[in-house]
Structure 1
Amino acid sequence: MKYRSAFDIIGPVMIGPSSSHTAGAARIGRVARTLFEKQPKKALISLYGSFAKTYKGHGTDLALVAGLLDFDTFDERIPNSLEIAKQLGMEVIFQEETAVPEHPNTVKINLFDEYDHELELIGISIGGGSIEITELNSFKLKLSGERAILVLHNDRFGIISSVTSVLSKHKINIGHMEVSRKEKGNTALMVIEVDEKIEDHVIEEITGLENVTRVIRMVN
Protein backbone atom coordinates (compact mmCIF):
# COMPACT_ATOMS: atom_id res chain seq x y z
CA MET A 1 0.00 0.00 0.00
CA LYS A 2 1.30 3.48 -0.86
CA TYR A 3 0.89 6.41 1.51
CA ARG A 4 0.40 9.94 0.24
CA SER A 5 1.44 11.62 3.50
CA ALA A 6 2.33 11.00 7.14
CA PHE A 7 -1.37 11.59 7.90
CA ASP A 8 -2.19 8.29 6.18
CA ILE A 9 0.16 6.43 8.52
CA ILE A 10 -0.40 8.02 11.94
CA GLY A 11 -3.99 9.20 11.44
CA PRO A 12 -5.59 12.51 12.39
CA VAL A 13 -5.25 14.58 15.54
CA MET A 14 -8.36 13.57 17.40
CA ILE A 15 -10.31 13.03 20.59
CA GLY A 16 -11.40 9.40 20.96
CA PRO A 17 -10.16 5.81 20.81
CA SER A 18 -10.53 5.02 17.11
CA SER A 19 -9.69 6.92 13.95
CA SER A 20 -12.38 5.13 11.97
CA HIS A 21 -15.11 5.12 14.62
CA THR A 22 -14.52 8.57 16.11
CA ALA A 23 -12.41 10.82 13.86
CA GLY A 24 -14.03 9.48 10.70
CA ALA A 25 -17.47 9.73 12.27
CA ALA A 26 -16.85 13.33 13.32
CA ARG A 27 -15.79 14.21 9.79
CA ILE A 28 -18.93 12.62 8.31
CA GLY A 29 -21.08 14.59 10.72
CA ARG A 30 -19.26 17.80 9.88
CA VAL A 31 -19.68 17.24 6.14
CA ALA A 32 -23.40 16.73 6.71
CA ARG A 33 -23.52 19.98 8.68
CA THR A 34 -21.64 21.82 5.91
CA LEU A 35 -23.98 20.53 3.22
CA PHE A 36 -27.04 21.41 5.32
CA GLU A 37 -25.56 24.90 5.74
CA LYS A 38 -27.00 25.38 9.23
CA GLN A 39 -27.33 23.63 12.56
CA PRO A 40 -30.20 21.14 12.26
CA LYS A 41 -33.12 21.07 14.64
CA LYS A 42 -33.33 17.30 14.39
CA ALA A 43 -30.93 14.54 13.38
CA LEU A 44 -31.96 10.96 12.68
CA ILE A 45 -28.77 8.87 12.62
CA SER A 46 -28.99 5.29 11.31
CA LEU A 47 -25.96 3.10 12.04
CA TYR A 48 -24.97 0.01 10.07
CA GLY A 49 -22.48 -2.82 10.45
CA SER A 50 -19.63 -2.19 12.88
CA PHE A 51 -20.94 1.28 13.64
CA ALA A 52 -24.22 -0.20 14.87
CA LYS A 53 -22.47 -2.76 17.07
CA THR A 54 -19.83 -0.59 18.72
CA TYR A 55 -20.94 3.04 18.43
CA LYS A 56 -21.44 3.59 22.17
CA GLY A 57 -18.19 2.00 23.27
CA HIS A 58 -16.10 3.76 20.61
CA GLY A 59 -17.79 7.14 20.97
CA THR A 60 -19.15 7.11 17.43
CA ASP A 61 -22.39 8.65 18.68
CA LEU A 62 -20.51 11.49 20.37
CA ALA A 63 -18.34 12.06 17.31
CA LEU A 64 -21.20 12.16 14.81
CA VAL A 65 -23.11 14.69 16.89
CA ALA A 66 -19.93 16.72 17.43
CA GLY A 67 -19.53 16.94 13.67
CA LEU A 68 -23.13 18.11 13.34
CA LEU A 69 -22.25 20.84 15.84
CA ASP A 70 -19.33 21.80 13.57
CA PHE A 71 -16.65 20.54 16.00
CA ASP A 72 -13.36 19.37 14.51
CA THR A 73 -11.84 15.93 15.28
CA PHE A 74 -9.62 17.34 18.04
CA ASP A 75 -12.24 19.51 19.75
CA GLU A 76 -12.23 18.88 23.51
CA ARG A 77 -16.01 19.31 23.62
CA ILE A 78 -16.60 16.03 21.74
CA PRO A 79 -17.18 13.94 24.93
CA ASN A 80 -19.98 16.36 25.86
CA SER A 81 -21.50 16.73 22.40
CA LEU A 82 -24.79 14.99 23.20
CA GLU A 83 -25.42 17.29 26.15
CA ILE A 84 -24.38 20.36 24.15
CA ALA A 85 -26.75 19.38 21.34
CA LYS A 86 -29.58 19.05 23.85
CA GLN A 87 -28.79 22.47 25.32
CA LEU A 88 -28.88 23.98 21.83
CA GLY A 89 -32.26 22.43 21.10
CA MET A 90 -31.08 19.82 18.60
CA GLU A 91 -33.01 16.56 18.86
CA VAL A 92 -30.87 13.49 18.13
CA ILE A 93 -32.24 10.00 17.47
CA PHE A 94 -30.02 6.94 16.91
CA GLN A 95 -31.20 3.81 15.09
CA GLU A 96 -29.31 0.52 14.92
CA GLU A 97 -29.94 -1.03 11.50
CA THR A 98 -29.63 -4.74 10.71
CA ALA A 99 -29.18 -4.45 6.93
CA VAL A 100 -25.74 -5.51 5.75
CA PRO A 101 -23.91 -2.53 4.18
CA GLU A 102 -21.21 -2.61 1.53
CA HIS A 103 -18.79 -1.14 4.08
CA PRO A 104 -18.90 -2.03 7.82
CA ASN A 105 -18.54 1.58 9.02
CA THR A 106 -21.63 3.06 7.39
CA VAL A 107 -24.01 5.74 8.63
CA LYS A 108 -27.07 7.40 7.15
CA ILE A 109 -27.86 10.87 8.48
CA ASN A 110 -31.19 12.62 7.99
CA LEU A 111 -31.19 16.27 9.02
CA PHE A 112 -34.22 18.52 9.45
CA ASP A 113 -34.67 22.23 10.16
CA GLU A 114 -37.59 24.01 11.79
CA TYR A 115 -39.44 24.04 8.46
CA ASP A 116 -38.96 20.27 7.92
CA HIS A 117 -36.51 20.82 5.07
CA GLU A 118 -34.50 17.61 4.89
CA LEU A 119 -31.06 16.43 3.86
CA GLU A 120 -30.16 12.75 3.60
CA LEU A 121 -26.55 11.66 3.47
CA ILE A 122 -24.82 8.29 3.53
CA GLY A 123 -21.18 8.18 4.57
CA ILE A 124 -18.53 5.58 5.31
CA SER A 125 -15.42 5.78 7.45
CA ILE A 126 -12.67 4.01 5.52
CA GLY A 127 -9.91 4.16 8.15
CA GLY A 128 -7.32 6.57 9.45
CA GLY A 129 -9.92 9.30 9.76
CA SER A 130 -10.61 9.26 6.02
CA ILE A 131 -14.20 9.20 4.81
CA GLU A 132 -16.33 8.96 1.70
CA ILE A 133 -19.80 10.37 1.21
CA THR A 134 -21.51 7.92 -1.14
CA GLU A 135 -25.00 9.36 -1.42
CA LEU A 136 -26.64 12.76 -1.01
CA ASN A 137 -30.41 13.15 -1.33
CA SER A 138 -30.50 10.01 -3.52
CA PHE A 139 -27.64 11.25 -5.74
CA LYS A 140 -24.84 8.70 -5.96
CA LEU A 141 -21.43 10.29 -5.53
CA LYS A 142 -17.93 9.91 -4.16
CA LEU A 143 -16.87 12.78 -1.92
CA SER A 144 -13.87 12.60 0.39
CA GLY A 145 -14.79 15.65 2.45
CA GLU A 146 -11.67 17.47 1.31
CA ARG A 147 -11.60 20.79 -0.58
CA ALA A 148 -14.45 20.61 -3.07
CA ILE A 149 -17.53 22.25 -4.52
CA LEU A 150 -20.92 20.68 -5.16
CA VAL A 151 -22.84 22.19 -8.05
CA LEU A 152 -26.54 21.46 -8.31
CA HIS A 153 -27.75 22.21 -11.82
CA ASN A 154 -30.27 21.46 -14.52
CA ASP A 155 -29.13 18.63 -16.77
CA ARG A 156 -28.45 20.64 -19.92
CA PHE A 157 -25.90 20.57 -22.72
CA GLY A 158 -22.69 22.53 -22.00
CA ILE A 159 -23.10 23.13 -18.28
CA ILE A 160 -20.14 20.93 -17.30
CA SER A 161 -17.92 22.76 -19.76
CA SER A 162 -19.11 26.12 -18.42
CA VAL A 163 -18.22 25.23 -14.82
CA THR A 164 -14.82 23.75 -15.65
CA SER A 165 -14.02 26.77 -17.83
CA VAL A 166 -14.52 29.06 -14.84
CA LEU A 167 -12.17 26.93 -12.74
CA SER A 168 -9.61 26.85 -15.55
CA LYS A 169 -9.76 30.63 -15.96
CA HIS A 170 -8.88 31.05 -12.29
CA LYS A 171 -6.12 28.40 -12.47
CA ILE A 172 -7.89 25.97 -10.14
CA ASN A 173 -6.79 22.38 -10.76
CA ILE A 174 -9.39 19.59 -10.61
CA GLY A 175 -8.30 16.50 -8.70
CA HIS A 176 -11.50 14.49 -9.03
CA MET A 177 -14.83 15.15 -10.70
CA GLU A 178 -18.06 13.27 -11.28
CA VAL A 179 -21.62 14.03 -12.28
CA SER A 180 -24.73 12.25 -11.07
CA ARG A 181 -28.33 12.66 -12.21
CA LYS A 182 -31.59 11.01 -11.28
CA GLU A 183 -32.95 11.04 -14.82
CA LYS A 184 -32.07 12.56 -18.17
CA GLY A 185 -32.90 16.25 -18.53
CA ASN A 186 -33.76 16.69 -14.84
CA THR A 187 -31.66 17.83 -11.88
CA ALA A 188 -27.99 16.80 -11.73
CA LEU A 189 -25.20 17.10 -9.19
CA MET A 190 -21.58 17.89 -10.05
CA VAL A 191 -18.91 17.05 -7.45
CA ILE A 192 -15.54 18.66 -8.06
CA GLU A 193 -12.57 18.18 -5.73
CA VAL A 194 -9.82 20.73 -6.30
CA ASP A 195 -6.24 21.43 -5.25
CA GLU A 196 -6.54 25.16 -4.62
CA LYS A 197 -8.73 27.30 -2.40
CA ILE A 198 -11.83 28.53 -4.19
CA GLU A 199 -12.45 32.20 -3.41
CA ASP A 200 -15.87 33.77 -2.97
CA HIS A 201 -15.80 35.52 -6.34
CA VAL A 202 -15.26 32.19 -8.12
CA ILE A 203 -18.24 30.67 -6.29
CA GLU A 204 -20.31 33.69 -7.28
CA GLU A 205 -19.25 33.34 -10.91
CA ILE A 206 -20.23 29.67 -11.02
CA THR A 207 -23.51 30.39 -9.21
CA GLY A 208 -24.33 32.96 -11.87
CA LEU A 209 -24.01 30.50 -14.74
CA GLU A 210 -27.15 29.59 -16.66
CA ASN A 211 -28.81 26.41 -15.33
CA VAL A 212 -26.78 26.38 -12.09
CA THR A 213 -29.22 26.39 -9.17
CA ARG A 214 -26.92 26.06 -6.16
CA VAL A 215 -23.22 25.85 -5.28
CA ILE A 216 -21.89 24.54 -1.96
CA ARG A 217 -18.23 24.99 -1.07
CA MET A 218 -16.43 22.56 1.20
CA VAL A 219 -12.99 23.00 2.74
CA ASN A 220 -10.76 20.51 4.56
Structure 2
Amino acid sequence: MESLAYIHLVEAYEQPIEQSPSPRVKLPKFTARGLFAFVSCALTASSLGVARPAFALLRPGESGETVAKLQYRLGELGYFQNSYTGYYGEATSDAVREFQRHNGLKDDGIVGEKTQAALDKIYPQPAPATTQPTVRFGDQGATVFRIQRQLSSLKYFDYKQMNGQFDEATEAAIKQFQADKELAVDGVVGEKTHMALANLTGL
Protein backbone atom coordinates (compact mmCIF):
# COMPACT_ATOMS: atom_id res chain seq x y z
CA MET A 1 0.00 0.00 0.00
CA GLU A 2 2.80 2.33 0.85
CA SER A 3 4.43 1.56 -2.54
CA LEU A 4 1.19 2.28 -4.37
CA ALA A 5 0.73 5.54 -2.52
CA TYR A 6 4.30 6.51 -3.35
CA ILE A 7 3.74 5.82 -7.07
CA HIS A 8 0.62 8.02 -7.08
CA LEU A 9 2.55 10.78 -5.33
CA VAL A 10 5.35 10.66 -7.90
CA GLU A 11 2.88 10.70 -10.80
CA ALA A 12 1.13 13.71 -9.32
CA TYR A 13 4.45 15.52 -8.82
CA GLU A 14 5.63 14.87 -12.38
CA GLN A 15 2.43 16.18 -14.00
CA PRO A 16 3.20 19.41 -15.89
CA ILE A 17 1.95 22.45 -14.06
CA GLU A 18 -0.42 24.51 -16.14
CA GLN A 19 0.61 28.13 -16.01
CA SER A 20 -1.92 30.81 -16.61
CA PRO A 21 -1.08 32.68 -19.80
CA SER A 22 0.65 36.04 -19.33
CA PRO A 23 -1.64 38.96 -20.02
CA ARG A 24 -0.97 40.40 -23.45
CA VAL A 25 -0.79 44.10 -24.04
CA LYS A 26 -3.10 45.00 -26.85
CA LEU A 27 -1.46 47.49 -29.19
CA PRO A 28 -3.60 49.75 -31.31
CA LYS A 29 -3.90 48.65 -34.89
CA PHE A 30 -2.93 51.28 -37.43
CA THR A 31 -3.76 51.44 -41.06
CA ALA A 32 -0.89 52.51 -43.31
CA ARG A 33 -2.30 56.04 -43.47
CA GLY A 34 -2.84 56.18 -39.72
CA LEU A 35 0.68 54.96 -39.01
CA PHE A 36 2.14 57.60 -41.31
CA ALA A 37 0.13 60.33 -39.57
CA PHE A 38 1.20 59.07 -36.14
CA VAL A 39 4.90 59.08 -37.07
CA SER A 40 4.61 62.51 -38.68
CA CYS A 41 3.04 63.98 -35.55
CA ALA A 42 5.73 62.45 -33.37
CA LEU A 43 8.52 63.84 -35.52
CA THR A 44 6.91 67.28 -35.59
CA ALA A 45 6.52 67.32 -31.83
CA SER A 46 10.13 66.28 -31.29
CA SER A 47 11.41 69.04 -33.54
CA LEU A 48 9.49 71.88 -31.91
CA GLY A 49 12.10 72.38 -29.24
CA VAL A 50 14.92 73.00 -31.73
CA ALA A 51 13.12 74.95 -34.44
CA ARG A 52 14.79 78.15 -35.57
CA PRO A 53 13.29 81.11 -37.43
CA ALA A 54 14.08 81.12 -41.14
CA PHE A 55 14.93 84.82 -41.18
CA ALA A 56 16.19 87.25 -38.57
CA LEU A 57 13.87 90.28 -38.44
CA LEU A 58 14.97 93.90 -38.52
CA ARG A 59 12.68 96.12 -36.52
CA PRO A 60 12.58 99.61 -34.98
CA GLY A 61 15.05 100.14 -32.16
CA GLU A 62 17.85 98.06 -33.65
CA SER A 63 21.16 99.47 -34.80
CA GLY A 64 24.31 98.40 -36.58
CA GLU A 65 25.82 97.90 -40.00
CA THR A 66 22.90 95.77 -41.20
CA VAL A 67 20.50 98.64 -40.53
CA ALA A 68 22.83 101.07 -42.29
CA LYS A 69 22.86 98.79 -45.33
CA LEU A 70 19.06 98.69 -45.26
CA GLN A 71 18.94 102.49 -45.19
CA TYR A 72 21.36 102.63 -48.10
CA ARG A 73 19.25 100.25 -50.18
CA LEU A 74 16.06 102.15 -49.39
CA GLY A 75 17.86 105.38 -50.29
CA GLU A 76 18.96 103.95 -53.63
CA LEU A 77 15.34 103.05 -54.34
CA GLY A 78 14.09 106.53 -53.38
CA TYR A 79 12.33 105.61 -50.14
CA PHE A 80 14.84 106.99 -47.61
CA GLN A 81 16.09 110.58 -47.73
CA ASN A 82 17.89 110.86 -44.38
CA SER A 83 21.49 110.18 -43.36
CA TYR A 84 22.54 106.54 -43.09
CA THR A 85 22.96 106.46 -39.33
CA GLY A 86 22.62 102.71 -38.77
CA TYR A 87 19.78 103.29 -36.30
CA TYR A 88 16.33 101.87 -37.07
CA GLY A 89 14.23 104.86 -36.05
CA GLU A 90 10.97 106.40 -37.19
CA ALA A 91 12.35 107.60 -40.53
CA THR A 92 13.61 104.11 -41.40
CA SER A 93 10.35 102.51 -40.30
CA ASP A 94 8.36 104.97 -42.44
CA ALA A 95 10.57 104.21 -45.44
CA VAL A 96 10.08 100.48 -44.95
CA ARG A 97 6.30 100.95 -44.70
CA GLU A 98 6.24 102.94 -47.92
CA PHE A 99 8.31 100.30 -49.68
CA GLN A 100 5.99 97.58 -48.40
CA ARG A 101 2.85 99.41 -49.58
CA HIS A 102 4.28 99.95 -53.04
CA ASN A 103 5.12 96.26 -53.32
CA GLY A 104 1.87 94.79 -52.03
CA LEU A 105 3.24 93.75 -48.65
CA LYS A 106 1.89 94.18 -45.14
CA ASP A 107 3.01 97.67 -44.10
CA ASP A 108 4.20 96.92 -40.57
CA GLY A 109 7.55 98.71 -40.82
CA ILE A 110 9.41 95.48 -40.04
CA VAL A 111 11.82 93.82 -42.45
CA GLY A 112 10.82 90.18 -42.49
CA GLU A 113 11.39 87.41 -44.99
CA LYS A 114 8.96 88.73 -47.63
CA THR A 115 10.18 92.32 -47.40
CA GLN A 116 13.80 91.19 -47.65
CA ALA A 117 12.97 89.04 -50.68
CA ALA A 118 11.32 92.03 -52.37
CA LEU A 119 14.36 94.20 -51.67
CA ASP A 120 16.69 91.56 -53.06
CA LYS A 121 14.57 91.27 -56.19
CA ILE A 122 14.33 94.92 -57.19
CA TYR A 123 17.40 96.50 -55.60
CA PRO A 124 19.67 97.69 -58.42
CA GLN A 125 23.15 96.21 -58.56
CA PRO A 126 26.05 98.62 -57.92
CA ALA A 127 27.52 100.10 -61.06
CA PRO A 128 30.94 98.83 -62.18
CA ALA A 129 33.82 100.60 -60.48
CA THR A 130 34.98 102.26 -63.71
CA THR A 131 31.68 104.14 -64.03
CA GLN A 132 31.62 105.46 -60.47
CA PRO A 133 31.93 109.23 -60.12
CA THR A 134 34.96 110.84 -58.52
CA VAL A 135 34.12 111.85 -54.97
CA ARG A 136 35.99 113.99 -52.49
CA PHE A 137 35.67 115.88 -49.22
CA GLY A 138 32.28 117.63 -48.96
CA ASP A 139 30.40 115.24 -51.25
CA GLN A 140 27.47 113.18 -50.00
CA GLY A 141 25.05 110.53 -51.15
CA ALA A 142 24.79 106.84 -51.99
CA THR A 143 28.24 106.61 -53.59
CA VAL A 144 29.88 108.02 -50.47
CA PHE A 145 27.96 105.58 -48.31
CA ARG A 146 29.10 102.67 -50.48
CA ILE A 147 32.71 103.83 -50.09
CA GLN A 148 32.24 103.98 -46.33
CA ARG A 149 30.85 100.44 -46.42
CA GLN A 150 33.90 99.27 -48.35
CA LEU A 151 36.26 101.01 -45.96
CA SER A 152 34.38 99.55 -43.00
CA SER A 153 34.62 96.00 -44.36
CA LEU A 154 38.39 96.51 -44.71
CA LYS A 155 38.67 97.86 -41.13
CA TYR A 156 39.60 101.38 -42.21
CA PHE A 157 36.34 102.95 -41.08
CA ASP A 158 33.96 102.56 -38.13
CA TYR A 159 30.55 101.44 -39.41
CA LYS A 160 28.91 103.58 -36.70
CA GLN A 161 30.15 106.64 -38.61
CA MET A 162 28.58 105.57 -41.90
CA ASN A 163 26.37 108.50 -42.87
CA GLY A 164 26.85 109.12 -46.60
CA GLN A 165 28.86 112.28 -45.85
CA PHE A 166 32.42 112.57 -47.18
CA ASP A 167 33.72 114.11 -43.96
CA GLU A 168 37.15 114.32 -42.35
CA ALA A 169 36.95 110.76 -40.98
CA THR A 170 36.16 109.41 -44.45
CA GLU A 171 38.96 111.40 -46.05
CA ALA A 172 41.45 110.19 -43.44
CA ALA A 173 40.39 106.58 -44.03
CA ILE A 174 40.77 106.99 -47.80
CA LYS A 175 44.25 108.45 -47.42
CA GLN A 176 45.31 105.56 -45.19
CA PHE A 177 43.88 103.05 -47.65
CA GLN A 178 45.65 104.75 -50.57
CA ALA A 179 48.97 104.77 -48.69
CA ASP A 180 48.66 101.07 -47.83
CA LYS A 181 47.82 100.15 -51.42
CA GLU A 182 50.54 102.38 -52.91
CA LEU A 183 48.07 104.69 -54.64
CA ALA A 184 48.30 108.46 -54.96
CA VAL A 185 47.51 109.74 -51.46
CA ASP A 186 45.18 112.62 -52.21
CA GLY A 187 42.05 111.64 -50.26
CA VAL A 188 40.05 111.68 -53.50
CA VAL A 189 38.26 108.55 -54.68
CA GLY A 190 38.92 108.37 -58.39
CA GLU A 191 38.95 105.44 -60.81
CA LYS A 192 41.99 103.63 -59.34
CA THR A 193 40.82 103.97 -55.75
CA HIS A 194 37.30 102.88 -56.74
CA MET A 195 38.76 99.85 -58.49
CA ALA A 196 40.99 98.89 -55.57
CA LEU A 197 38.10 99.14 -53.10
CA ALA A 198 35.80 97.11 -55.34
CA ASN A 199 38.38 94.39 -56.02
CA LEU A 200 39.17 93.95 -52.33
CA THR A 201 35.61 93.98 -51.03
CA GLY A 202 33.37 92.84 -53.87
CA LEU A 203 31.03 95.71 -52.99
TM superposition score category, shorter chain reference: under 0.3
Greater RCO between the two (CA within 8 Å, min separation 6)?
A: 1
TM-score normalized with structure 1 length: 0.23
TM-score normalized with structure 2 length: 0.24
Q: Which has the higher helix share?
A: 2
Q: Which has the higher strand share?
A: 1
